[in-house]
Amino acid sequence: MGEAPEFFDEMQGFGGSVRAPYAGYEAWLREVSQKELLKKSKDAYDFFRRTGITFNVYGEAEADERLIPFDLVPRIISAQEWANLVRGIEQRVKAINAFLHDIYHRQEIIRAGRVPERLIRENDAFQPKMIGFDPPGGIYTHIVGVDLVRTGPNEFYVLEDNARTPSGVSYMLENRETMLKMFPELFSHIKVRSVQQYPTMLRRSLEQCAPMACDGRPTVAVLTPGIHNSAYFEHAFLADQMGVELVEGHDLRVADGRIAMRTTRGFEPVDVIYRRIDDDFLDPLNFRPDSLLGVAGILDIYRSGGITIANAPGTGIADDKAIYSYMPEIVEFYTGQKPILQNVPTWRCTEKDALAYVLDHLDELVVKEVHGSGGYGMLVGPAASRKEIAAFRKKLEARPGNYIAQPTLALSTVPVLTKSGLAPRHVDLRPFVLVSPAGVEVTPGGLTRVAMKKGSLVVNSSQGGGTKDTWVLKED
């Protein structure tokens, strides 16, 4: 017998027999040839190319539009595993919403000494213009993506919270559509919960957050920065799937105390804007005056009850990785309960002892910028060269408050299809959460991102990662 694998594999555990959630799939897999799987993989690639499912890579002059690699071996989660995750996600998202309300109102968590005041006051994502304002329905984070990693059979950790403008849901939907086309027979004998209702759920959830000025069924629109944005495909896709207008800033204007949208019938009022534009560019009168992407005066209309903006301005502070390190305290403060989902242990480099430890162990740790995203600006110590570590050390010593550090987790693996057969690759999971006055809804699936390079722990698409379909099994 060989040595037990170092990482928990979603299909085979720690090297034993096939795990129960994969039993039906593995039985089917035994009957399918490698040649047929490779052909299906090529068909899937061609489908994605024809459909135009691409993302843009900033800073590259050539080939700036790429297909995200898609692997056709699904990630499968049992009904019980999913139920436990949903409980933890709901608890966390409710706490985030309560935290955002508190820091823009009485700041009880600061008064109680649970979160340092400077972490809020000095944070670029904190928006003083939101102080004292109650968003429609009391909802700040209408759409949330919670990034999860797994290290064992019952060990899930939250890697980060995406409370600003989480992306990737279009890939969740298109991955499922592709699998249904490629392998219809699989879905006839393996009972997988549907994700295809997400656009309907999203529209309904946004409509439930309509502002006071709304009269009749709410009008929803998706606000995009335009075709050069890395997630433009997703903006257009979601608008189309919801049956609502996709608009840019120049399609909107202030009229009679409302935001009006250009249509073939002239300008008509909009009630809910699902914005995919960062706070800074949302309103040149209230934020960056040089912005050509937003709508002048939209924040004033928002504050007077004439429009709902989803997600609310100022929610980005909940994405901050320094705030993340306080999430266990935040969850307990607002829910009165211990967190169901654990954080990854985190060293705050602003703290002298933590910084000393991190500097002594750079070759073992993952170090991230507190405002970073997409896998940029980070150091994966075990995979870095001495030269890269030395250069990063200088950046960390110069601006310690800009970084947090975490241990290198033994992320779970799921098999991917390679030319020589199945091989394990590391994965994470981003479930998508909708929040409205009616409650919290977690779509039964999510975006599984996979590191396509052998041994790599970086799953971000901008760093060469791919995606998989995520199956949540129905209860027996």
Question: 376: domain CATH number?
Answer: 3.30.1490.270
Reported as a single tens digit per residue, the pLDDT across 4-38 is: 457 899 999 988 899 999 999 999 999 999 999 99
Reported as a single tens digit per residue, the pLDDT across 208-239 is: 999 999 999 999 999 999 998 888 989 999 99
**Is there a domain that residue 14 lies in?**
no
**Is there a domain that residue 41 lies in?**
yes
Same domain, 108 and 144: yes
Band the pLDDT of 459: cuts 50, 70, 90: confident
Amino acid at 18: V
Q: State the pLDDT at residue 48.
A: 82
Same domain, 297 and 312: no
Same domain, 311 and 365: no
pLDDT at 375 over 60: no
In terms of phi and psi (left: phi > 0; alpha: psi -120 to 50; beta: otherwise), the region of 180 is alpha
- Over range 324-351, report the average pLDDT: 95
Same domain, 28 and 110: yes
Same domain, 84 and 159: yes
**Is there a domain that residue 98 lies in?**
yes
Where a domain ends, among 255, 283, 306?
A: 306
pLDDT at 64 over 70: no
Pull the structure tokens for residue 432: 């998508």
Name which of 220, 218, 217 is nearest 239 in CA terms: 220
Q: Is 382 exposed, middle or buried (0-12, 13-18, 19+ CB in 10 A)?
A: exposed
Same domain, 122 and 250: no
Rounded to 10 degrees, the C-alpha dihedral 20/24/29/32 comes to 170
Chain-centroid distance of CA 14 in Å reads 28
Q: How many domains does the chain have?
A: 3
In the chain, pLDDT over 70 holds for what percent of residues? 94
Yes or no: say if 410 and 419 are a contact pair by the CB < 8 Å rule. no
Reported as a single tens digit per residue, the pLDDT across 142-169 is: 999 999 999 999 999 999 999 998 999 9
User: Domain limits at 368?
Assistant: 345-407
What contacts 24+ positions apart, CB below 8 Å, involve 398-401? 400/349, 400/350, 400/355, 401/322, 401/349, 401/350, 401/370
Mean of per-residue pLDDT scores for the chain: 91
Rounded to 5°, angle at Cα 94 from 196 and 217:
55
Same domain, 80 and 119: yes
Segments of 215-362 assigned E as strands: 220-223, 245-247, 252-255, 258-263, 266-270, 272-275, 308-310, 342-343, 347-348
- Over range 333-357, report the average pLDDT: 95
**Is there a domain that residue 12 lies in?**
no
The domain spanning residue 297 has which CATH number? 3.40.50.11290
Yes or no: say if 468 and 414 are a contact pair by the CB < 8 Å rule. yes
DSSP for residue 181: H
Q: Which residue has the tokens 């005056």?
A: 289
pLDDT at 62 over 90: no
pLDDT at 56 over 80: no
User: How many CB atoms sit inside 10 A of residue 341's CB?
Assistant: 19
Whole-model pTM?
A: 0.92
Same domain, 167 and 60: yes
**Is there a domain that residue 157 lies in?**
yes
Q: Where are the alpha helices (DSSP H) in 104-207?
A: 108-111, 117-121, 169-182, 184-189, 198-207
Band the pLDDT of 378: cuts 50, 70, 90: confident
Reported as a single tens digit per residue, the pLDDT across 189-211 is: 999 999 999 999 999 999 999 99
Q: State the pLDDT at residue 476.
A: 74
Q: State the pLDDT at residue 247.
A: 97
Residues in the chain: 476
Same domain, 114 and 186: yes
Yes or no: say if 183 and 108 are a contact pair by the CB < 8 Å rule. no
Same domain, 126 and 115: yes
pLDDT at 460 over 60: yes
